[in-house]
Structure 1
Amino acid sequence: MKRIAVLTSGGDSPGMNAAIRAVVRKANFHGVEVMGIYHGYEGFIEGRMELLDLGSVGGIIQRGGTKLFSSRCPKFKEEQYQLQGIEKMREAGVEGLVVIGGDGSYRGAMELTKKGFPSVGVPGTIDNDIPGTEYTIGFDTALNTVIESIDKIRDTATSHENSFVVEVMGRDAGDIALWAGLAAGAESILIPEEEFDIDDIVARIEHGIARGKKHSIIIVAEGVMAGNELAKILNEKANITTRVSVLGHIQRGGSPSARDRVLAGQFGAKAVEVLLEGRSGRAVGIKNHQLYDYDLEEAFSNKHKADLSLYTLSKELSI
């Protein structure tokens, strides 16, 4: 290959810029040009791109978000637009594509592969919910953002002797809630992968009060229910008044952590290697600290599983 392209799609995550940088510099190292496609699959369809050289990706490794911007493009599910985008790429001499994103982005890459356009997926999502890889780009940074926020909320909870419900991102996956809750010492954690008992949450709060504790932190993933809804249930069920903090999109922003920068560098470089080896329809990931690539279809034919041993541990440590 003499020219490939890279795009970011779906929700942004810290470390995407570091991955873009890695794709460009790894490809350039092997004498391959890289076109940066703007606004995800929308830009792919319209051929909205420009050549990225070494200088154009300088100074972005520490920046959150994505230099190439991102968007969701429902019409890309239609074959006519997929073929239109492929034609635009071929007109520009692009022979392969690196897609940085989550589940929906991977599905787009798989469709392109089936139509003869080589594509490789790089996992970029704060939810850490891509099957086939233990970690995704952005998860570690988002996790640390949430933990820092919970630590600050606990200061207020302690000072005013209040209980707080903290709502975090995670529609279908509870990794942010689970890991942050364990790391920040939350009294209860609610995740989509595990049913919860409201009586158990109430009992934990009451047990804490009985031993002299004046505050508690409850973490709920948005996929379980809204924080305000949980607070209402607690008030109606046991007359427990709680304050609610919805962290929202602050979780997606910020300078990527060292871990995310290294992971992005590894993933971006690996994706280029896969394309240059003549393989496509692959995704890159990491397992047991080892970098590898696997069939893209595995990423959405299997279901993400939370580490429920952490869920059990959090209950044991929050007595």
Structure 2
Amino acid sequence: MSKLAILTSGGDSPGMNMAVWAATHAAQARGWEVLGIRQGFSGLLRGESLPLSSSKALPYARLGGTFLGTAREPEFAHKIPAALHRLQQAEVSHLLVLGGNGSLAGAARIAEAGFKVVGIPCTIDNDVDGSDESIGFDTALNTALWLFDGLRDTAEALPRWFSLETLGGDTGFLAQAVARAGGADVLLVPERPLPLEVLEQNMREALGRQGFAFLVASEGYPELMGTLERLEQALGLRLRHTRIGHAQRGGRPSGHDRLLARALAEHAVEALAHHHSGMIGLQQGQYRRVAFEQIGPRKPFPKDLL
């Protein structure tokens, strides 16, 4: 009898629980047994798991975070034999890994050893190469937009200049989406640091045009707070800065993320049933199997978004 093990790894993202339930549901429909690994690759190395069923996982599907728990295991690449031993001990035949770049790299190392592994991209950063979208990105975008709109309300009522700092690691995908959807005046992303004089000019133009100015920045922008302080001094106006923090990584997943998670998970189980390893990604509206060796360390930031 086939047995599927599911683990969530790295940073949590809204929709992970939905993907766990959808994969469990699809696997059980094939007559498979399903095992949940606690605390990601760290839990796998310790042999920590629990039996999963569709009915047990369903109550968590609407929630953010991951009920299986997650962790980071930086040295996992050197512990593949121990991970394989644990999988064999538990009589696991297939493995599903939910996570971002580091987690998928770990999945690839297990696949290199001959084990059947499929990964699906779960990260609010949306920086996984080989997939146009990742689970959690849409929810994180909407969380930020709720704050953006609230700040704009007060900016229009009492003209000032505001900055909103998003998560996103050292990539600008999330900040760029927030800025574009909200109509920000200035965007700061790690992929393209801007000279202070350019920032000052853009902010002054916005202030002159509408009486207020709005800047969105990714947390990974180099020397972000120092840049904002220098800009504040150059403008001679007090800055109102808001940092979303890790609240942006939580919350109930949006409808879009739930549908994406379910589709990716179902395609992942189908791929495993046909003895494929690799990642399931969304490319131009189609769900595709992507070989691990075809996935780069990070999705390149499109120049047209800058």
Q: 2:83 aligns to what?
A: 85
Q: Partner of 2:211 in structure 1?
A: 214
RMSD of aligned residue pairs (Cα, Å): 1.5
Give distance in 1, aligned partners of 2:109 and 2:202: 48
Q: CA deviation at 1:171?
A: 2.5
**Given the alignment of the two structures, is residue 241 of structure 1 paired with residue 235 of structure 2, yes or no?**
no
Partner AA of 1:265 in structure 2 = R
State the one-letter code of the partner of 1:231: L
Given residue 123 of structure 2, which amino acid in structure 1 is its aligned partner?
T
Q: 2:14 corresponds to which residue?
A: 14
Q: Which residue in 2 is equivalent to 1:45?
A: 45
Structure 2 equivalent of residue 228 of structure 1: 225
C-alpha deviation, 1:227, in angstroms:
4.5
- Could you list the per-position Cα deviations for residues 183-228 of structure 1 after superposition, in whole angstroms to 9, with x for gaps in the alignment? 11111001122232322221122223333x2211101111113553
Q: Given the alignment of the two structures, is residue 108 of structure 1 paired with residue 106 of structure 2, yes or no?
A: yes
Give me the TM-score of the superposition, normalised by structure 2: 0.95
| Other structure's SS at 2:295 match | helix
Q: CA deviation at 1:101?
A: 0.1
1:254-302 per-position Cα deviation (integer Å, ceiling 9, x unaligned): 111111000000111111111110112x00001111111111122235x
Q: Which residue of 2 aligns with 1:275?
A: 272
Give the corresponding residue for 1:59.
Answer: 59
Contact kept in structure 1, 2:196 and 2:227, CA below 8 Å: no
The 3-state SS of whatever aligns with 1:89 is: helix
Contact 1:227–1:245, Cα closer than 8 Å, also in 2: no
- Verify the 8 A CA contact 1:166 1:227 in the aligned structure 2: no
Indicate the residue corresponding to 1:122 in structure 2: 120
Structure 2 counterpart of 1:215, one-letter code: F
The 3-state SS of whatever aligns with 1:127 is coil
Q: In the alignment, is residue 296 of structure 1 matched against residue 286 of structure 2? A: no
| Counterparts in 2 of 1:83 and 1:158: CA distance versus 1, 3 Å | same
Q: Secondary structure at the match of 1:244?
A: strand
1:237 Cα deviation after fit? 3.2
- Asked if the contact 1:120–1:271 (Cα under 8 Å) also holds between the matched residues in 2, the reply is yes
- Counterpart amino acid of residue 198 in structure 1: L
Equivalent position amino acid for 2:22 in 1: A
Tell me the distance in 2 between the aligned counterparts of 1:179 and 1:74: 29
**Would you say 1:305 and 2:300 are equivalent positions?**
yes
39-48 vs 222-231, which deviates more? 222-231
**Does the aligned pair in 2 maintain the 1:27–1:33 contact within 8 Å?**
yes
Note the 1:160-175 alignment, pairs <5 A.
160-175=158-173
Aligned 8 A contact 2:193 2:222 in 1: no
- Alpha carbons 2:97, 2:118 under 8 Å: kept: yes
Alignment of 1:121-160 (within 5 A): 121-160=119-158
Amino acid at match of 1:283: M
C-alpha contact 1:227 1:244 (8 A) present in aligned 2 = no
Partner of 2:76: 76
For residue 85 of structure 1, report the CA deviation from its aligned partner.
1.9
Structure 2 distance, partners of 1:180, 1:110, is: 32
1:284 aligns with 2:285: no
Q: Is the 8 A contact 1:193 1:305 kept in 2?
A: no
Alignment of 1:174-193 (within 5 A): 174-193=172-191
Give distance in 2, aligned partners of 1:156 and 1:227.
23
| Rounded Cα–Cα distance in structure 1 between residues aligned with 2:231 and 2:181 | 24
Partners in 1 of 2:241 and 2:230 — Cα distance? 13
Which amino acid counterpart does residue 194 of structure 1 have in structure 2? R
**CA–CA distance in 1 between the matches of 2:14 and 2:214?**
26
Q: Is the 8 A contact 2:16 2:64 kept in 1?
A: yes
User: Does structure 1 conserve the Cα–Cα contact (< 8 Å) formed by 2:96 and 2:119?
Assistant: yes
Contact 2:2 2:94 in 1 (8 A): no
Question: 1:144 offset after TM fit, Å?
Answer: 0.5
The answer for the alignment partner of 1:25 in structure 2 is 25
Unaligned regions of 5+ residues in structure 1, if any?
A: 312-319
**Per-residue deviation, 1:99:** 0.3
